[in-house]
Structure 1
Amino acid sequence: MEWTLFGLFLLSAILLGFSLVKSYRDSKVEKKQIDLVHVSMMKEINSIQDSIRDIELDIEVVINEAGIQLSPERKLFMREVIDLYRRNYSIESIAEKKEVPETEIEQLLSPYLKIKDEGGLVANAN
């Protein structure tokens, strides 16, 4: 009887050891997978940052070549106004929010205004 209990205890200790080794190996594999995902995400983030940097440089070159001189405050103001317009704010609400006359907002947005029924005019011209 004692030998049976000792055998069962020994068997359970061996199974516990195998279980611990297997879980250790599984955790190493999982850690490697997480590291691979992390590395690929970091590469993608770096790639996006490089693209953004290139776009910023391209914009700077275009602005310099066009001879447009805008202060940083004016650029920020224009960016905010255009962003609000593209998020479907009305010109009146943009003017109210920025505390400027509506005519100034309209002039600023004139190159960006969407012309409605533009396709109909071209189709009827034929």
Structure 2
Amino acid sequence: MRRKIIPYNPHLKELARLLRNNSTKSEVMLWRYLKGKQMKGYDFHRQKPLLNYIAEFYCAELSLVIELDGCSHTFEEVQEKDRIKEEELASVGVKVLRFEDKEVFTDIHNVLRTIEGYIEEYER
């Protein structure tokens, strides 16, 4: 099956590169488990431009975005932007899994189990 190519705003490429070079601690921690096809053989990318957004982690084969929320995501306006981003990504067939930074730090195994569970469901 050919995977769908999702368009992106080319102006985001430089910002995505900057974000890759300045990752948060939670992104660095999760990336250790996603890079190099360690997650059930799937290829994940960091800071991937999609539509008018930059996804923190993206797997094209799974049509999956993984987002990590820090303290700024407690603000209502940030949550509204997240909701719109999720809706727009869903409109092109992309599922978003969202975790809080503190989950990555305190319960990484549950975060990984949730991602694995999504993959197992996807493969069925």
Regarding TM over 0.5, the answer is no
Give the structure with higher Rg (CA): 1
1 or 2, which has the higher helix percentage? 1
Q: Given the two structures, how large is their TM-score scaled by the length of structure 2?
A: 0.24
Structure 1 or 2: more strand by fraction: 2
Higher relative contact order (CA closer than 8 Å, sequence separation 6+): 2
TM-score (norm 1): 0.24
